[in-house]
Chains A and B, each alone.
Chain A
Amino acid sequence: MVRLNINGKQHEVDVDPDTPLLWVIREQVGLTGTKYGCGIAACGACTVHLDGAAVRSCSLPVREVKADQKIVTIEGLSPNLTHPLQKAWLELDVPQCGYCQSGQLMAAAALIAASPKPTEDEIIAGMTNICRCGTYNRIKAAIQLAAGDVKRG
């Protein structure tokens, strides 16, 4: 049995401890907002927060996650789309196909949590998730928009 704290809820799952966190989240826990894109931590579609840090869950075996570590997925980012990034994403109509956007939002949320007013260079350095639809410019603009909305500290 593996014990996980996901979006503030305790889960006990019966799973091979080598299973990547991504697949535990999707298949055992049943939260499918976190996406599979590459399996090698290259694309970032599987990005979740582990104690506030953005991690690529497709390459993190679940045995390396401790029971008291706080995992947050896109479903737990905010209630009712109230996170400043979700509001900015909506305002700027960022997504196209949308498949990568859970990961983009989670990466951006970790970025502005660490650096509430990121410079353009910081955004570019911090946002390395792949979007094949090419929404990069709108993602950048939405982070900048949201940064004006985020309280410091």
Chain B
Amino acid sequence: MKKIDTSRRGFLVGSVAATAGFSLGFHVPFAAAANATPEINAWVVIKPDDTVIVRIARAEMGQGTLTGLAQLVAEELEADWSKVTTEFASPNQNVLRNRVWGNFATGGSRGIRDSHDYVRKGGAAARMMLVQAAATQWGVPATECKAAKGIVTHAGSSRSLSYGKLAEAAAKVDPPKDVPLKDPKDWTIAGKPVNRLDTKEKLDGSLVYSIDVKVPGMLNAAIRDCPVFGGKVKSFDAAKVAGMRGVRKVVPVGDTAVAVVADTWWQAKTALDALPIVWDEGPNAKVSSDTIAVMLTEGLTAEQAFVGNQAGDVKAAIAGAAKVVEATYSFPYQHHVTMEPMNATALWTADRCEVWTATQNGEAALATTADAAGLPLAKCEVHRVILGGGFGRRGMSDFVRQAVNIAKQMPGTPVKLIWSREEDMLHGRYHPVTMCRMVGALDKDGNLVGLHMRLSGQSILATVNPQGLQNGRDPVAFQGLNSSGTEGVFGYAIPNLLIDHAMRNTHVPPGFWRGVNNNQNALYLESFIDECAKAAGKDALAFRQQMLANSPRHLAVLNAAAKQGGWGTPAPEGVHRGLCQHMGYGSYVASCAEVKVEKNGKLKILRIVAATDSGHAVNPQQIAAQVEGSFAYGLSALLHGKITIKDGRVEQENFDTYPVLLMDEMPKVEAIVMPSGGFWGGVGEPTIFVAAPAVLNAIAAATGKRVRGGPISGVDLKPV
């Protein structure tokens, strides 16, 4: 093992920064603000060898935000793209520097769309300072100088200087007050399908993930939290494992968990497995999926519900309908199952606490660190790394709190806490469970003139962020179903509409799971629109087009997916198609799926064409990757994903009982990236909404059977 012989404050972790020009945030000494290389501004550091380091505040978890943000900064900086690298901005420095990097939270597909303006200005301001530094040196007006590909040139005298030569002087130039930005149509780096900046280190094992962090003198911890949510530790018998090899300490973690600290993680886990723990399972020990289903079913017809979208008089429309269509749908709990289980390394002393972890929210992780450490924010640091998957799970800092809690009981000794896969499955932040009752009113011409969409189920905000509730109502429950706004508008013109939510919360901790409530909202709505089209005897595309006539962007992506998907043209023998559309996170998405169902009921999802209009497209190639990835994630849930509750706890503990989609089930994916300009939508999540509904609609076309909720595995799909 290669030892890293350097002080704890400024050591390199692994070989990443040294080998591939990709610097990790934590090679910058803690609380020392990168004094070694002067920064031009908070976003841009340029080394004498012309290397440009772009600081990244948002998290990189595979979604490509790191590369996209670097493209935006480099574009305005007029940088030489081949010399651009990145490092993560420090949460501690963000506190000390009055939040100079803004928000670190990375969720809701906001990484780029919520920060494009100020990161571009950061790049532009740095360029202006470099130009001014050159102009001053040459004694010419800055207006006569031009920056391109990392070099400032004076046209009149043909003099030029590279950014690396100008950086030191530029750092002393007063930052400009007025910072104009380029018109996106003039982009040469942004908007282009460039490869990611973080790939090489992922191909030879050199990238240091949080789970790989090595701190001198570090011990390792394994943990068991009460499997029943809300339960506590009654007792544990540390003496039983105290003599086991490598074991250093057995510690309580809060009042709900116990951890074993040992020389290696395998020793800690082995001892933990042998540790007798008695639980006080608390008030939720009898809750099961069945009791939850009873509660949700009651909500489907309850008198009281929070209204999300309303128009006309839906009761009257249903009463006066030529035909009424009714259906009930459901969506089970899902687990994130990031490939890298939750983990964090913490070092606590009486005057400082440092954490190394994979987080989607560096600021929240820092706040949790400070709180658990009992220290002010300024005396804490969270060293950030690339995440081995996030999908919403790592927006939470529960594992950080545990790690700091353990480290606080071992002052001066760094401790790495790793959750086993089983611990990870049992202590997720689960995609909430919901049901939905749909009632549609068709007039004599087969027009959908009334729709009541009653959602019943768990609110994420009620647990995660109760301050976000509006008089008890969870606005996020209505994602993609809003009457107006820029986030997720219900595109269909239906004169009598009621969308309401009977909030039915459980003791199972919910969380934001890629796509969040759009997943079930799109599945319910887009399946039911097909059911209504069928009842009306109309084509599923024409039925939608008529109701989207006044929603041109919704209509445009739907038409694009339908056209490339071959809608209306003959499909190959035995192949059937399904369509859907939805808007969320500021983007418009639609898809057309092709499936085949064998006589024995075996399903094969052959192909999905997906269209995305995200307004601006910072990197079309990475958008295509997100389309493929979100389909894999969404179809995994549709085909296999179901977390169930028994005796108050999650029943699934690993991939054997919570199977996920593998290569054999992955369809061919064709991504249509069609940015219409003028707005900034997200891309990490939106296409996941249109994975499941298109497939369910295609299955209905293939089999005559309407599957009204996942998972499909176990459903008899033999055609009727």
Chain A residues within 8 Å of B, Cβ to Cβ:
16, 19-20, 23, 26-40, 42-43, 45, 73-75, 77-78, 81, 86, 89-90, 93-102, 105, 123-125, 127-128, 130-140
Interface 1/0 per residue, B678-720 and A, CB below 8 Å: 0000000000000000000000000000000000000000000
Smallest CB separation, A35 vs chain B (Å): 7
Smallest CB separation, A109 vs chain B (Å): 12
A132 touches B339 (CB 8 A): yes
A43 touches B339 (CB 8 A): yes
B660 touches A130 (CB 8 A): yes
B203 touches A86 (CB 8 A): yes
With a cutoff of 8 Å between Cβ atoms, the chain A residues found around residue B267 in the complex are: 16
Q: How far is the CA of A98 from the CA of B2 in the complex (A)?
A: 23
B199 touches A93 (CB 8 A): yes
Q: How far is the CA of A133 from the CA of B663 in the complex (A)?
A: 12
A101 touches B202 (CB 8 A): yes
**Does B356 make an interface contact (CB < 8 A)?**
no
With a cutoff of 8 Å between Cβ atoms, the chain B residues found around residue A28 in the complex are: 1, 264
With a cutoff of 8 Å between Cβ atoms, the chain B residues found around residue A16 in the complex are: 245, 266-267, 270
**Does B630 make an interface contact (CB < 8 A)?**
yes
Contact of B340 among A35, A39, A138 (CB under 8 A): A35
With a cutoff of 8 Å between Cβ atoms, the chain A residues found around residue B203 in the complex are: 81, 86, 89-90, 95, 101, 105
B contact face: mostly helix, strand, loop, or mixed: loop
**Does B386 make an interface contact (CB < 8 A)?**
yes
Q: A93-B621, A98-B202, A102-B205 are in contact. Are A134 and B666 (CB under 8 A)?
A: yes
With a cutoff of 8 Å between Cβ atoms, the chain A residues found around residue B64 in the complex are: 96
- Which among B205, B661, B666 has the highest number of chain A CB atoms within 10 Å? B205
Q: How far is the CA of A19 from the CA of B620 in the complex (A)?
A: 45
With a cutoff of 8 Å between Cβ atoms, the chain A residues found around residue B538 in the complex are: none
B 344-373 contacts with A by CB, 8 A: none
With a cutoff of 8 Å between Cβ atoms, the chain A residues found around residue B206 in the complex are: 33, 75
Smallest CB separation, B16 vs chain A (Å): 11
B209 touches A75 (CB 8 A): no
Q: How far is the CA of A100 from the CA of B196 in the complex (A)?
A: 17
Query: Which 8 pairs show the lowest CB-CB distances between chains A and B?
Result: A33-B205, A134-B632, A30-B1, A98-B202, A97-B62, A96-B62, A99-B388, A32-B212
Smallest CB separation, B624 vs chain A (Å): 10
With a cutoff of 8 Å between Cβ atoms, the chain A residues found around residue B208 in the complex are: 32
A39 touches B654 (CB 8 A): yes
A contact face: mostly helix, strand, loop, or mixed: loop
Interface size class of B (residues with CB under 8 A): 35 or more
Contact of B663 among A20, A95, A105, A128 (CB under 8 A): A128
A97 touches B387 (CB 8 A): yes
With a cutoff of 8 Å between Cβ atoms, the chain B residues found around residue A140 in the complex are: 663
Q: A97-B62, A127-B663 are in contact. Are A74 and B628 (CB under 8 A)?
A: no
With a cutoff of 8 Å between Cβ atoms, the chain B residues found around residue A100 in the complex are: 339
Smallest CB separation, A44 vs chain B (Å): 10
B625 touches A73 (CB 8 A): no
Smallest CB separation, B62 vs chain A (Å): 3
**Does B265 make an interface contact (CB < 8 A)?**
yes
B663 touches A23 (CB 8 A): no
A138 touches B625 (CB 8 A): yes
Q: How far is the CA of A28 from the CA of B264 in the complex (A)?
A: 8
Chain A residue with the shortest CB-CB distance to B630: A134
A–B complex contacts, Cβ < 8 Å, 13 sampled: A23-B264, A23-B265, A28-B1, A32-B212, A32-B214, A34-B205, A81-B200, A97-B388, A98-B386, A99-B389, A132-B632, A133-B389, A134-B666
Q: A39-B654, A77-B204, A97-B386 are in contact. Are A132 and B338 (CB under 8 A)?
A: yes
Q: How far is the CA of A137 from the CA of B655 in the complex (A)?
A: 21
Chain A residue with the shortest CB-CB distance to B267: A16
With a cutoff of 8 Å between Cβ atoms, the chain A residues found around residue B264 in the complex are: 23, 27-28
Smallest CB separation, B536 vs chain A (Å): 35
**Does B106 make an interface contact (CB < 8 A)?**
no
Q: How far is the CA of A128 from the CA of B660 in the complex (A)?
A: 11
A96 touches B63 (CB 8 A): yes
Q: How far is the CA of A136 from the CA of B63 in the complex (A)?
A: 15
B205 touches A32 (CB 8 A): yes
With a cutoff of 8 Å between Cβ atoms, the chain A residues found around residue B104 in the complex are: none
Smallest CB separation, B585 vs chain A (Å): 18
Interface 1/0 per residue, B57-80 and A, CB below 8 Å: 000011110000000000000000
Chain B residue with the shortest CB-CB distance to A102: B205
A40 touches B654 (CB 8 A): yes
B 451-510 contacts with A by CB, 8 A: none
A128 touches B662 (CB 8 A): yes
Q: A16-B245, A45-B339 are in contact. Are A90 and B205 (CB under 8 A)?
A: no
Q: How far is the CA of A123 from the CA of B636 in the complex (A)?
A: 20
With a cutoff of 8 Å between Cβ atoms, the chain B residues found around residue A97 in the complex are: 61-62, 338-340, 386-390
Q: How far is the CA of A37 from the CA of B654 in the complex (A)?
A: 10
A99 touches B265 (CB 8 A): no
With a cutoff of 8 Å between Cβ atoms, the chain A residues found around residue B214 in the complex are: 30, 32
**Does B341 make an interface contact (CB < 8 A)?**
yes
